[in-house]
Amino acid sequence: MGYLGSEQQTDKQHNHYKGEITMKSFGVPIIGVMIDSITELPQCREGLAILDAAEKQGNIKFGGLFVNSIHRNTMTVINNLIMHTAPKGAITRWIVAAGKANHLTGTCDAYLRYAMGSQVPVFGAVFTNEEDPDESLLAGILSIIQVPGHQVIFDPDNPTFEHACREALVATELLPFIKARPPKEAIEFETIGEAKKFIINSMH
């Protein structure tokens, strides 16, 4: 099982944002895939073959493949999460992958936790760019693991889409516990003076 957030979460008795969240079994996992660009589809071939074989064996159901950019199709991403994630939708596990500055994976994870109060897990993966494979790989990894308190199930030592697909087949009872943290306080300053005063006070 991959890396989960800044530490592995296993405590099932913790009080969480939006009430107590318990591990639930949705029966046969319904796996949805979300990627950021149609150009990344060739890197999905092996992973999709794994999911296809698992579906034919009756181990999972495939919930669809969604291609949308978090930067250029922001509301489409959000709407897909709302409409297709259980319990309103069918998907009980998401595999989310993108290349370079991979903001898609972390944003999906954050929206599920803090906007929807969902425990549906997100399995992260990184795509590489042929022109700069090492740099794009590092950028994608850091874009996931540097998000404070993220709940993405992700292995930085094996960040491929194929590996994420294998991870998503794990039995429900072996999934890491999804632990949503309380949201940060949102603050608005109407004037620069208010902001300056806050900064001064925070320094004492």
Q: Which amino acid is at 114?
A: Y
Number of domains in the chain: 1
What pTM, to 2 d.p., does this model score? 0.86
Q: Provide the 10 A C-beta neighbour count for residue 59.
A: 13
Tens digits of pLDDT across the chain (204 residues): 665 554 333 333 222 223 333 345 468 999 999 999 999 999 999 999 999 999 999 999 999 999 999 999 999 999 999 999 999 999 999 999 999 889 999 999 999 999 999 999 999 999 998 888 899 999 999 999 999 889 999 999 999 999 999 999 998 888 988 876 777 889 999 999 999 999 999 987
CA-based nearest residue to 65, from 83, 92, 89, 44: 44
Residue 172 belongs to domain spanning: 3-202
186, two tokens: 């949102």
What does the alpha-carbon distance between residue 58 and residue 38 come to, in Å, rounded to a whole number? Answer: 28
CATH number where 187 lies: 3.40.50.1970
